[in-house]
Amino acid sequence: MTDHLEPRLFARADDIRAIGEAMLACTLPKADWTHEAHLSTCAWLLLERPDIDIDDEIGGLIRRYNVSVGGVNDDHQGYHETITRVFVAGARDFLARSGGLDLLAAANGLLAAPEGQRDYPLRFYARDRLFSVEARRDFVSPDLAPLPSV
């Protein structure tokens, strides 16, 4: 993970929706699948897409998107199950605490919150455990602190 970087916030909710829809349609340019895009798409799915069961579908959606832009999902690159699950748990916790924010405020708030920081998973995992092949393939339980539960 990286040092704290200031997030690039969104100006319009429609920009968030467009990123999420393009990711689902596998038309989002690879360069646009940033940390901010990941988290804003997560917020959008949780807030506005109840037709998508994020717990059951997020892994397949991201893997499919990765392949569509020429990426590979293997033991060293592409989709990472544990990191995804940590950020989904963090997003849910942030949204539950924030109560009733619209999409723009929720996504930008999440990006600015501790749950939106790139190193957020390291609050719960030792680096070696988090970046293990096992954690990339499947969810592994935290070894430093329990994940938030909503």
What are the tens digits of pLDDT across the range 65-80?
999 999 999 999 999 9
146 domain-assigned: no
pLDDT value at 56 more than 60:
yes
Calpha distance 82→74 (Å, rounded): 14
Residue 99: inside a domain:
yes
Which amino acid is residue 117, in one-letter code? Q
CA distance linking residue 38 with residue 82, whole number of Å = 14
Write down the pLDDT at residue 23: 98
What whole-number distance in Å separates Cα of residue 123 and Cα of residue 48? 28
Task: Say what the pLDDT of residue 135 is.
Answer: 98
Where does residue 58 rank: exposed (0-12), middle (13-18), buried (19+ CB within 10 A)? buried
pLDDT at residue 2 tops 60: no
Q: How many domains does the chain have?
A: 1
**What is the domain extent for residue 45?**
13-137
Q: How far apart are CA 113 and CA 91, in angstroms?
A: 10
What is the pLDDT, as a whole number, of residue 4? Answer: 59
User: Would you give the end-to-end CA distance of the chain in angstroms?
Assistant: 25
Q: What's the predicted TM-score (pTM) here? A: 0.94
Q: Does a structural domain hold residue 66?
A: yes
Residue 5 lies in a domain: no
User: Could you tell me if residue 36 is inside a domain?
Assistant: yes
pLDDT above 90 for 1: no
40 within some domain = yes
78-136 tens-digit pLDDT:
999 999 999 999 999 999 999 889 999 999 999 999 999 999 999 999 999 999 999 99
